[in-house]
Structure 1
Amino acid sequence: MSDPTPEEERRHREKKAKIKEVRDRMMAEKTGEKGLVIVHTGPGKGKSSAGFGMIFRCIAHGMPCAVVQFIKGAWSTGERTLIETHFADQCRFVVAGEGFTWETQDLARDKAMAAAGWETAKQLIRDPEIRFVLLDEINIALRYDYLDIAEVVAFLRDEKPEMTHVCLTGRNAKPELIEIADLVTEMAQVKHPFRAGIKAQPGVEF
């Protein structure tokens, strides 16, 4: 590949300078700050991973944070091990589930665990010292009506402190939750190794 000509370099600089001007003007207009309600949903992989990515950002910035893990709390995951081993003073980790519903096969116990997890989640969200709360897989608990979506939405809308971020993950986010959220990302599944007979593996799935 040949080096760019002086004319190509000039056109490139002019083009990028115009883009920078527009971007700088746009960024100068974005001055607001608020605690966000963030939803990661959809059939694709990466919802919890994205939520934990933000947890580790908070830890890096010295922002106290917390995780309440619904449904799959019985799993031994890399995120949980790392947080509990190295960052327990910066991030609380609460288990509010004992495994996927087809594993537990105990509706009453699953509902009780979810309800207890939600009560803990509300306490953590109300805590003025905590800046970010990840409600991992809560959308699954809401999907199966283990929790009342109207109550969850009302709490996030009316009681969440102004500058506290809350991230809710899991497939099939309820429309009511999507409506009040500030940021919603839907993970699409294009290809997954599970369909080719590859099992869940450390470092990728957990």
Structure 2
Amino acid sequence: MTEKPPVDPARHAMKMAKKKAARDKIMATKTDKKGLVIVHTGKGKGKSSAAFGMIFRCIAADMKCAVVQFIKGGMDCGERDLINAKFSDICEFYTMGEGFTWETQDKTRDTEMAQAAWEKSKDLIRDPANKMVLLDEINIAIRYGYVDVADVVAFLTDEKPEMTHVVLTGRNAAEDLIEIADLVTEMELVKHPFRSGIKAQIGVEF
């Protein structure tokens, strides 16, 4: 292995100073503020985990926020337990789903629950006191036709308060939703322990 030559501290400092100046120039042009529509999608793990990270940032910043879970009603959720126990005064939490559709096996019931979750979501988003609203696994509800993507897109475009952030999670996000979003992240699956016979782990999945 060829050894790298030692870094000249003065040359490194000069290089970093130029990079900082260029960065500062770019940042000076970014003056607008708005409430973002944020989509976390893809087959990889971490969509809801990343979204809850933002919810906890809001809580840390004393910003009122809310969560609506569209699917995971029958599952343990550490985030839900913590928020309800410690931060219910600043973060409303609604678990509206009853589990994944292959578990409930009742499309009519699933549709009714998802519609109720969407109505609650709209109420929470309309409330200007809420600075962020997380719609956890709504993309799945949209994919199965429980919630109309056109209704979601129209509401976020026409009725969302200007400074409210809305985060929508779940794989297979609809193209129409991606089109109107400000920030879209696709989690790519590289490896997953489930494929090796390892079940969901507390502290990792829930």
Bin for the TM-score computed over the shorter chain: over 0.9
- Provide the residue aligned with 2:41 in structure 1: 41
Which amino acid is the alignment partner of residue 46 of structure 1?
G
Structure 1 distance, partners of 2:147, 2:70, is 11
Moved more, 100-109 or 133-142: 100-109
Gap change, CA 1:2 and 1:177, over 3 Å in 2:
closer
Does the alignment pair 1:148 with 2:148? Answer: yes
- Provide the residue aligned with 2:27 in structure 1: 27
Q: CA deviation at 1:71?
A: 1.0
| 1:69-106 C-alpha deviation (Å, 9 max, x unpaired) | 01112212110000000000010000110001111111
- Provide the residue aligned with 2:129 in structure 1: 129
Structure 1 distance, partners of 2:157, 2:5, is 56
Does the alignment pair 1:119 with 2:119? Answer: yes
In structure 2, stretches of 5+ residues that fail to align are: none
Structure 2 distance, partners of 1:86, 1:39, is 27
Which amino acid is the alignment partner of residue 64 of structure 1?
K
Which amino acid is the alignment partner of residue 24 of structure 2?
D
- Give the aligned CA root-mean-square deviation in angstroms: 1.3
Q: CA deviation at 1:173?
A: 0.1
Structure 1 distance, partners of 2:146, 2:4, is 62
Structure 2 distance, partners of 1:89, 1:125, is 17
Which amino acid is the alignment partner of residue 198 of structure 1?
I
Structure 2 distance, partners of 1:15, 1:191, is 37
Structure 2 distance, partners of 1:109, 1:201, is 29
| 1:133-164 C-alpha deviation (Å, 9 max, x unpaired) | 00000000000010111001000000000000
Percent identity between the aligned chains?
69
Does the alignment pair 1:75 with 2:75? Answer: yes
Structure 2 distance, partners of 1:2, 1:193, is 37
Structure 1 distance, partners of 2:73, 2:34, is 30
- Provide the residue aligned with 2:98 in structure 1: 98
- Provide the residue aligned with 1:50 in structure 2: 50
- Provide the residue aligned with 1:158 in structure 2: 158
Structure 2 distance, partners of 1:197, 1:2, is 43
Structure 1 distance, partners of 2:116, 2:4, is 64
Q: CA deviation at 1:62?
A: 0.5
In structure 1, stretches of 5+ residues that fail to align are: none
Does the alignment pair 1:198 with 2:198? Answer: yes
Q: Which runs of 4+ in 1 moved over 4 A?
A: 1-5
